[in-house]
Amino acid sequence: MRKWTKAALLSGLLFPGIGHLALKEYFRASILIVAAVAAVYVLTSAAVDQAMSVVDRVNSGDVAPDAQSISEAITASSAEADNRPRMRRS
Protein backbone atom coordinates (compact mmCIF):
# COMPACT_ATOMS: atom_id res chain seq x y z
CA MET A 1 0.00 0.00 0.00
CA ARG A 2 1.33 3.40 -0.93
CA LYS A 3 2.11 5.90 1.77
CA TRP A 4 -0.45 8.45 0.53
CA THR A 5 -3.18 5.78 0.29
CA LYS A 6 -2.56 4.79 3.88
CA ALA A 7 -2.66 8.46 4.92
CA ALA A 8 -5.97 9.01 3.11
CA LEU A 9 -7.49 5.99 4.82
CA LEU A 10 -6.28 7.17 8.23
CA SER A 11 -7.77 10.64 7.72
CA GLY A 12 -11.01 9.32 6.29
CA LEU A 13 -11.65 6.51 8.72
CA LEU A 14 -10.11 7.67 12.00
CA PHE A 15 -9.96 11.45 12.26
CA PRO A 16 -9.14 14.32 9.89
CA GLY A 17 -5.45 15.21 9.99
CA ILE A 18 -4.14 11.85 11.20
CA GLY A 19 -3.05 10.97 7.67
CA HIS A 20 -1.02 14.16 7.45
CA LEU A 21 0.67 13.22 10.70
CA ALA A 22 1.60 9.88 9.14
CA LEU A 23 3.08 11.79 6.19
CA LYS A 24 4.98 14.03 8.64
CA GLU A 25 3.19 17.15 7.41
CA TYR A 26 2.72 18.54 10.88
CA PHE A 27 1.46 22.03 10.00
CA ARG A 28 -1.32 20.76 7.74
CA ALA A 29 -2.18 18.06 10.27
CA SER A 30 -2.52 20.58 13.08
CA ILE A 31 -4.79 22.82 10.99
CA LEU A 32 -7.07 19.91 10.06
CA ILE A 33 -7.17 18.53 13.59
CA VAL A 34 -7.97 21.93 15.12
CA ALA A 35 -10.72 22.52 12.55
CA ALA A 36 -12.24 19.09 13.16
CA VAL A 37 -12.13 19.48 16.94
CA ALA A 38 -13.74 22.93 16.67
CA ALA A 39 -16.52 21.56 14.47
CA VAL A 40 -17.19 18.69 16.88
CA TYR A 41 -17.27 21.16 19.79
CA VAL A 42 -19.75 23.49 18.07
CA LEU A 43 -22.07 20.65 17.07
CA THR A 44 -21.88 18.99 20.48
CA SER A 45 -22.51 22.19 22.40
CA ALA A 46 -25.54 22.99 20.21
CA ALA A 47 -26.96 19.52 20.81
CA VAL A 48 -26.36 19.74 24.57
CA ASP A 49 -27.97 23.20 24.74
CA GLN A 50 -31.04 21.91 22.92
CA ALA A 51 -31.25 18.83 25.15
CA MET A 52 -30.88 20.91 28.30
CA SER A 53 -33.71 23.21 27.24
CA VAL A 54 -35.98 20.18 26.85
CA VAL A 55 -34.84 18.80 30.22
CA ASP A 56 -35.60 22.16 31.85
CA ARG A 57 -39.10 22.13 30.31
CA VAL A 58 -39.69 18.60 31.64
CA ASN A 59 -38.44 19.58 35.11
CA SER A 60 -40.64 22.68 35.22
CA GLY A 61 -43.73 20.67 34.29
CA ASP A 62 -44.30 22.24 30.87
CA VAL A 63 -43.69 18.87 29.20
CA ALA A 64 -45.01 15.57 30.55
CA PRO A 65 -42.30 13.04 31.43
CA ASP A 66 -43.30 10.47 28.81
CA ALA A 67 -41.63 9.49 25.55
CA GLN A 68 -44.29 10.98 23.24
CA SER A 69 -44.31 14.40 24.93
CA ILE A 70 -40.53 14.56 25.09
CA SER A 71 -40.30 13.60 21.42
CA GLU A 72 -42.72 16.39 20.51
CA ALA A 73 -40.73 18.86 22.63
CA ILE A 74 -37.51 17.87 20.87
CA THR A 75 -39.16 18.31 17.47
CA ALA A 76 -40.51 21.73 18.50
CA SER A 77 -37.10 22.72 19.86
CA SER A 78 -35.47 21.71 16.57
CA ALA A 79 -37.99 23.77 14.61
CA GLU A 80 -37.32 26.78 16.85
CA ALA A 81 -33.58 26.41 16.31
CA ASP A 82 -34.08 26.28 12.54
CA ASN A 83 -36.16 29.47 12.58
CA ARG A 84 -33.75 31.52 14.69
CA PRO A 85 -32.04 34.34 12.82
CA ARG A 86 -28.40 33.67 12.16
CA MET A 87 -25.59 36.17 12.26
CA ARG A 88 -24.52 37.25 8.82
CA ARG A 89 -21.03 38.32 8.00
CA SER A 90 -20.56 41.20 5.65
Residues 27-59 pLDDT 10s: 999 999 999 999 999 999 988 988 898 889 889
In a domain? residue 22: yes
What pTM did the predictor assign?
A: 0.65
In a domain? residue 89: no
pLDDT digits (tens, 9 = 90+) for 67-80: 888 888 888 877 77
In a domain? residue 88: no
Give 69: exposed, middle or buried? Use CB within 10 Å, 0-12, 13-18, 19+. Answer: middle
Give me the number of domains the chain comprises: 1
